[in-house]
Structure 1
Amino acid sequence: MPTTNTTAAVIGAGVVGLAVARALAQRGHEVFVLEAEQAIGTQTSSRSSEVIHAGIYYPPGSLKARLCVEGRHQLYAYCTQRNIGHRRTGKLIVATDADQLVALQALAQRAAANGVNDLQWLTASQAQALEPALRCHAALLSPSTGIIDSHSLMLALQGDLEQAGGVLALCSPAVRIEADARLLTIITHDGTQLPVDFVVNAAGHGAIPLARRTAGLAAGHIPTAYFVKGQYFSLTGKAPFQHLIYPIPVPGGLGIHLTLDLGGQARFGPDAQFVERADDLQVNPDDLPRFAAAIRSYWPDLPAERLQPGYAGMRPNIGGPAATFSDFIIQDACTHGIPGLINLFGIESPGLTACLAIAEEVARRADLQRLR
């Protein structure tokens, strides 16, 4: 276990940053969390689908696959322990025509390779018995997929952090990181210098710009940042579905799917558009017909007049438009050579599901670095 005078700074108070800070504080580190905004979780963490993913989609052996499966188990247990709003809704992944059956079978095989062993193959009639409004040729039922109140989760993580002695500083953007042989020093926007033993760069969209302002970090260790905008359209009135409904994945995302909030309201999305700026968060009403057409592939009776522009999120992507997959990067001194520095790059979906597992991985690496 770390000594009580070991200090750590976590930059970014989204769901992953808070989970990491909590894990470090509970191991005995003196932890400071620096957040640029006026509240926790106002960026990527507040603009997601709030889905607890099972771990179906990611290549076996990837960090996303392992940490999603581990994190899903941890997250359900934590929600139960802390009375955080959540529900195991289950999810149907649907093949909307016969040509998609091979892709659906491939998903089942990938899920099994990732340790997701509860998927059930449903015929069209079996799927429609669960969801009468659904149209499909076949479906995979994922019973362990669910939904969560992400803000309540972040408040619980903050509470655990502070109970363990950690400190959260809002309106405190880090502008650069300097290093010497013994300590890392964070310089904030007002010139404050914070010397610490460890820095975890969990700044989301700000992680790559901050890495570029980290003394001694070679450019070759810093990926290129891309911004993937995902729009959501909300459904007014009561939804005819009890499960989440997902189409076969498309390049760049999981397709325009139906998710529910804990109040039972439905939303559709996200789509995936590469854009130039992280603050490009306006929903384009002209995209409604495109959304409606995608939704009608599995819900043919959708009344388009019930679709309304909802909100948009922005994924901190590091793969770019040509990539078929980009994994999480958890980068420590074994890669970049700067003792005490851990960078988190490309923490997009399933980052919410994996947050507790990511935190355990970061804390483990921090402890290993301390022992070297």
Structure 2
Amino acid sequence: MEKVDITIIGAGVIGLAIAYEFSQSFKKDILVIERNESFGKETSSRNSEVIHSGIYYPKDSLKAKLCVEGKNLLYKFCEKNNIPYKKCGKLIVAVNKSELENLNFLYENGKNNGVDDLQILDRKQIKNLVSELNGEYAIFSPSTGILDTHRFMQKLEFESKQNGCMFLYNNEVVEIEKLNSDYKLVIKNKNSETTGVVSEIVINSAGLYSDKIAKMLSINDYKLYYCKGEYFKLSSKYKNFLNHLVYPVVDKNFHSLGIHTVLDLSGNIKLGPNSFYVDEIDYSVDPTHIDEFYYGIKKFFSFVQKEDLSADTSGIRPKLQGPKDDFKDFVIKEETEKGYKNFVNLIGIESPGLTSALAIAKYVRNLLFGSIN
């Protein structure tokens, strides 16, 4: 049976970032196991590709701290490695004065989290940035941006492989057993053939399936809810119409950031995501949901017509926050207290997981090995 030092379950952006961080920090045998045929096939590739600034999350939460740290790390990584990105900035727009209280809350919350470049704009200043945008007030976040997520993940995988990290695709972990000081993982391939690997350290970054992986060791504390978000695209006639992201104001107990504009690096515009809980993973888009997107964009840009919209894609977020729950933070925990030394769970890594990925990897490294200068 093969023996490795570190096994990472899941090759989404979090698993890849951990593989990259560990493989450049240590001379250890590292194995990444992924159930799909390649990296980033689920939540990591089905999102808005936004680099968030850190406005929304409660002060001192992991989401707040890792987002602010991760944003800076991500921009540096993109610059160093020629990953396409654009620091386009974001407007969070109050369309009437009734939204001003929540807008001011977000502004103060962002400042408390260390986002030091936020600006409050009035109607005239909004028009100076986006002349067609309807809004009474807005927060402008200059450090929000977008990136090519696929190129980012591709580079993480490439560098990890260059550092000796092994990747096992089309294989799924189906059983984990605690040995004396190691873990035995049973792995099943697409032909239902099983094999085993023994690992000193196991990192569960399995995204949508991370709570199920934890349950394999009878760690039953975590329950994930699947929260689906759909996207509709705007007609190509709007290409390059916007230079900044436009978001609505959300309340303090938000479950999503609301339907907003989504820009890609070619200037195309999508709208989304909406947000609703589902029991099964299904990436189809319901075209009858078009009104939600149409009225979501219409309040900002009154000239957009319903026929300008068409169904595009969707993603599913692994949320610890149920439909009636308040804020839930990331769970990033080494489980020695439960009797599982060197087993790390990463549960509920939804937004801002992409932005936070490199910071999360450093956080996990420090959990296991302490701070390394």
Residue 20 of structure 2 aligns with an amino acid whose one-letter code is R
Matches within 5 A, 1:1-372: 7-28=5-26, 29-189=28-188, 190-214=193-217, 217-219=218-220, 222-237=221-236, 238-239=238-239, 240-249=241-250, 251-277=254-280, 279-368=281-370
> Per the alignment, in what secondary structure is the counterpart of residue 171 of structure 2?
coil
**CA deviation profile, 1:35-66 (whole Å, cap 9, x unmatched):** 00011110111101000000000000100000
CA shift, 1:267, in A, is: 0.5
Deviates more, 1:298-307 or 1:349-358: 298-307
TM-score, structure 2 length as denominator? 0.94
User: Does the 8 A contact of 2:5 with 2:200 survive in 1?
Assistant: yes
CA shift, 1:333, in A, is: 2.5
Aligned in 2, Cα 1:335/1:94: closer, same or farther, shift over 3 Å? farther
**CA deviation profile, 1:53-89 (whole Å, cap 9, x unmatched):** 0000000010000000000000000000000010000
| Whole-Å separation in 2 of the counterparts to 1:306 and 1:8 | 50
TM-score, structure 1 length as denominator? 0.94
Deviates more, 1:185-194 or 1:351-360: 185-194
> Per the alignment, in what secondary structure is the counterpart of residue 173 of structure 1?
strand
User: Does the 8 A contact of 2:45 with 2:149 survive in 1?
Assistant: yes
| Whole-Å separation in 1 of the counterparts to 2:353 and 2:206 | 13
User: Does the 8 A contact of 1:133 with 1:241 survive in 2?
Assistant: no
| Whole-Å separation in 1 of the counterparts to 2:337 and 2:315 | 31
> Per the alignment, in what secondary structure is the counterpart of residue 92 of structure 1?
strand
Deviates more, 1:104-113 or 1:20-29: 20-29
| Whole-Å separation in 1 of the counterparts to 2:219 and 2:122 | 53
**CA deviation profile, 1:245-298 (whole Å, cap 9, x unmatched):** 000025311110001000000011001100111x22111111111211111111
Residue 292 of structure 1 aligns with an amino acid whose one-letter code is Y
**CA deviation profile, 1:93-134 (whole Å, cap 9, x unmatched):** 000110011111111100011000000111011101110110
CA shift, 1:225, in A, is: 1.5
CA shift, 1:334, in A, is: 4.1
> Per the alignment, in what secondary structure is the counterpart of residue 121 of structure 1?
strand
> Per the alignment, in what secondary structure is the counterpart of residue 288 of structure 1?
helix
User: Does the 8 A contact of 2:50 with 2:355 survive in 1?
Assistant: yes
| Whole-Å separation in 2 of the counterparts to 1:290 and 1:22 | 40
> Per the alignment, in what secondary structure is the counterpart of residue 197 of structure 1?
strand
CA shift, 1:337, in A, is: 2.6
RMSD: 1.4
| Whole-Å separation in 1 of the counterparts to 2:260 and 2:325 | 21
| Whole-Å separation in 2 of the counterparts to 1:132 and 1:141 | 15
User: Does the 8 A contact of 1:184 with 1:340 survive in 2?
Assistant: no
CA shift, 1:6, in A, is: 7.1
Residue 299 of structure 1 aligns with an amino acid whose one-letter code is F
User: Does the 8 A contact of 1:122 with 1:140 survive in 2?
Assistant: yes
> Per the alignment, in what secondary structure is the counterpart of residue 194 of structure 2?
coil
User: Does the 8 A contact of 1:174 with 1:186 survive in 2?
Assistant: yes
User: Does the 8 A contact of 1:15 with 1:41 survive in 2?
Assistant: yes
Unaligned runs of at least 5 residues, structure 1:
none
| Whole-Å separation in 2 of the counterparts to 1:334 and 1:69 | 28
Residue 324 of structure 2 aligns with an amino acid whose one-letter code is A
User: Does the 8 A contact of 2:132 with 2:301 survive in 1?
Assistant: yes
| Whole-Å separation in 2 of the counterparts to 1:211 and 1:361 | 19
**CA deviation profile, 1:331-362 (whole Å, cap 9, x unmatched):** 11244330110011000000000000000001
Q: Give the number of aligned pairs.
A: 360
| Whole-Å separation in 2 of the counterparts to 1:336 and 1:291 | 45
| Whole-Å separation in 2 of the counterparts to 1:203 and 1:133 | 42
Unaligned runs of at least 5 residues, structure 2:
none
User: Does the 8 A contact of 1:10 with 1:200 survive in 2?
Assistant: yes
Residue 211 of structure 1 aligns with an amino acid whose one-letter code is A
Deviates more, 1:322-331 or 1:140-149: 322-331
| Whole-Å separation in 2 of the counterparts to 1:155 and 1:186 | 26
